[in-house]
Amino acid sequence: MACEEAANPAAINPREMALQQLAESAERIGLEEAIHKKLAQPKRIVVVSIPTQMDDGRVEVFTGYRVQHSMERGPCKGGIRYHPDVTLDEVIALAMWMTWKTAVVNIPYGGAKGGVVCDPKSMSEGELERMTRRYTSELVEVIGPEKDIPAPDVYTNEKVMAWIMDTYSMNKGYVVPAVVTGKPLALGGSRGRSEATGRGCVFVIEEALRVKGMSPQGATMAVQGFGNAGTVTARLAEEIGFKVIAVSDSRGAVYNPDGLDVAALIEHKQQTGYVTGFAEAEEIPRDDVLTVECDVLVPAALGGVITKENAAQIRAKIIAEAANGPTTPDAQKILDENGIFVLPDILANAGGVTVSYFEWVQSLQSYFWSEEDVNRSLRNVMVQAFHDVYQRAEAAGLNMRDAALDVGVSRVAQAQRLRGIYP
């Protein structure tokens, strides 16, 4: 997947949930009605049909969306997903969440999201390429380095970004690398981009431990999902002293109270496709990874996995949401009652979009940074964002999720106030 963004709790209409969150934040921060009304609506919704020649000669017509929620603080930014369940409401909600996320880490972007209703797993590479190129052509007037910069999301990757960049460049008549992020390194991608989400997550976990008076040395971690975000988080956490005691993927989970050897587990997963069958661990039921006793739990798989059914059994002190939307609103209430410190997705997984921002800056300048420069700058952004949110949480007696939302909404509102409503 390797994305900037992804799934959210399926049972709840995501757009209603996003509007509800905005309304609650508006109430807490005393937002003017005019700005609230404006932020409740996306700036622009584009719906396109994407006729695509399939390998057998038939023409399929796919539906594609691009939603630009806000450009108050800069051009729009957000991923593109290819999935049969993509809906306009979901894309609208995800675009709104991108607005708050870019504002929480204080990078000069608004929020956007795109999606095509299709089943990429059943399509050939040629079909995906033709669909991607036509989708890009349909959007050529609304995306661009100074307007809206797509990135990978569910079932899109750096190859898809390369096709988008090429199609856009062909339409313009010159090469425009800054039109997308998450590109291959050879086309102007950024060093450190592929690890950025996990690395950013570990940076905020370190800050959370610091304010809680805990040390990473010997602290324990459980990780749900062992893909891009989960493997990098586990590996870097181990590097700073954590014992990673439980890890799951879609098939099952492994557990070792003395700490799993993360590098060996990654190799095992690469060779066999799964974490199960790893010699130096005991197998446990897949979803038990969420309820093992540990200091830090990292959901890094799907949305909607921490629910009112299992929240009371969670025995972690800190939850760091590498995944998008892993905790339902009902579950959050239970976690709050149990004193569990939750680092919300719009903070904990914002490392990906932050390094996307660095990639865009590098592409615009045609001047490329070392990996050390990328990682140092990422740390600065994540540490600052953590403390901005923590300060709000402490000052207003809020959990970190509500505090992060307030920080994000306040920053967008401030930009809107300064710019005024045109004309």
Please pick, from the candidates 296, 302, 335, 374, the single residue that binds ligand NAD as defined by CB under 6 A. Answer: 302
Q: What is the CA radius of gyration of the chain?
A: 21
Tokens at 112, concatenated? 């956007």
CB of 276 to ligand NAD, least distance (A): 11
Site string for ligand NAD, 268-287 (x = CB under 6 A): ------------------x-
> Which ranges of 296-370 does DSSP label H, i.e. alpha helix?
329-337, 345-348, 351-365
CB of 3 to ligand NAD, least distance (A): 5
The reply to whether 354 sits near ligand NAD by the rule CB under 6 A is no
Q: Which stretch binds ligand NAD (CB under 6 A): 138-146, 204-212, 243-251, 404-412?
A: 243-251
The reply to whether 252 sits near ligand NAD by the rule CB under 6 A is no
CB of 61 to ligand NAD, least distance (A): 28
Residue 144, phi-psi category: left (phi > 0), alpha (psi -120 to 50), beta (remainder)? left
CB of 375 to ligand NAD, least distance (A): 15
Cα(398)–Cα(381) distance, rounded to whole angstroms?
Answer: 22
Please pick, from the candidates 42, 114, 216, 225, the single residue that binds ligand NAD as defined by CB under 6 A. Answer: 225
- DSSP-derived secondary structure for 237-265: HHHTT-EEEEEE-SS-EEE-TT---HHHH
The reply to whether 197 sits near ligand NAD by the rule CB under 6 A is yes
Which residue, among 67, 70, 150, has the nearest Cα to 111 in the 3D structure? 70
Bridging pattern class, strands 44-53 and 341-343? unpaired
Q: Token match 């590097």: residue?
A: 239
As annotated, the active-site residues are: 113
Cα(102)–Cα(202) distance, rounded to whole angstroms?
Answer: 18
Residues with Cβ < 8 Å from 291, sequence gap 6 or more? 310, 313, 314, 315
The reply to whether 359 sits near ligand NAD by the rule CB under 6 A is no
| 286: DSSP letter | G
Please pick, from the candidates 72, 129, 148, 249, the single residue that binds ligand NAD as defined by CB under 6 A. Answer: 249
Residue 126: what residue type? G
CB of 418 to ligand NAD, least distance (A): 29
Q: What CA–CA distances, in Å, run from 106 to 102, 330, 386?
A: 6, 29, 11
Please pick, from the candidates 91, 96, 128, 300, the single residue that binds ligand NAD as defined by CB under 6 A. Answer: 300
- Three-state DSSP at 35 gives helix
Q: Are 246 and 320 in contact (CB under 8 A)?
A: no
Q: Which stretch binds ligand NAD (CB under 6 A): 84-92, 242-250, 260-268, 407-415?
A: 242-250
The reply to whether 129 sits near ligand NAD by the rule CB under 6 A is no
**Nearest to ligand NAD of 90, 249 (CB atom):** 249
Please pick, from the candidates 17, 22, 301, 314, the single residue that binds ligand NAD as defined by CB under 6 A. Answer: 301
* Number of chain positions touching ligand NAD (CB under 6 A): 27
Cα-Cα-Cα-Cα dihedral of 35, 336, 256, 230, to 10°?
0
Q: Which residue is nearest to ligand NAD (CB)?
A: 227
The reply to whether 226 sits near ligand NAD by the rule CB under 6 A is yes
**Nearest to ligand NAD of 64, 299 (CB atom):** 299
Q: Are 104 and 385 in contact (CB under 8 A)?
A: yes
Q: Would you tell me which residues interact with ligand NAD (CB under 6 A)? A: 1-7, 197, 224-230, 248-250, 286, 300-302, 322-324, 349, 352
